[in-house]
Amino acid sequence: MSDVKEVFFCNFEKALASMKSGRKVTRMDWNYGSKSSHTPFVSLCPGVGTLASDKFWNPHNRKFAESIGGARVSPYFSEVNCLGSVSMGWVPTAADILAEDWLILAD
């Protein structure tokens, strides 16, 4: 558990506050501590005021940004699962919101 900042379990409210301050969080229920080479985690991406069109990797978003001279990126959650795959736009389930097994990870 060397990547855990706080070793006690917390609720989603504390996990969210930690993400807002730039921390990564995980849940024990997400195979934390499994033999995988990746600890699954969620983080908050704060968004960007205006991002230049050439910074968008998605061609549809890039085309939209080109049409208006750049685009604002809204805040969103990003997830890295235990296989090391990144998902942008993670949405917590009711079980995640009600869970008391959140852990705050070290940087």
For the chain, helix, strand, coil in percent to 5 are: 30, 35, 40
**Residue reference for tokens 């609720």:** 11
Q: Tens digit of pLDDT for each residue in 49-97?
A: 999 999 999 999 999 999 999 999 999 999 998 888 999 999 999 999 9
- Residue 61 Cα to chain centre, angstroms: 20
Indicate if the pLDDT at residue 40 is higher than 50. Answer: yes
What is the token pair recorded at 25? 């969080």
pLDDT for residue 84: 85
Residue range 11-26: average pLDDT? 95
Per the CB < 8 A criterion, the answer to whether 26 and 32 are in contact is yes
The CA distance from 46 to 49, in Å, is 10
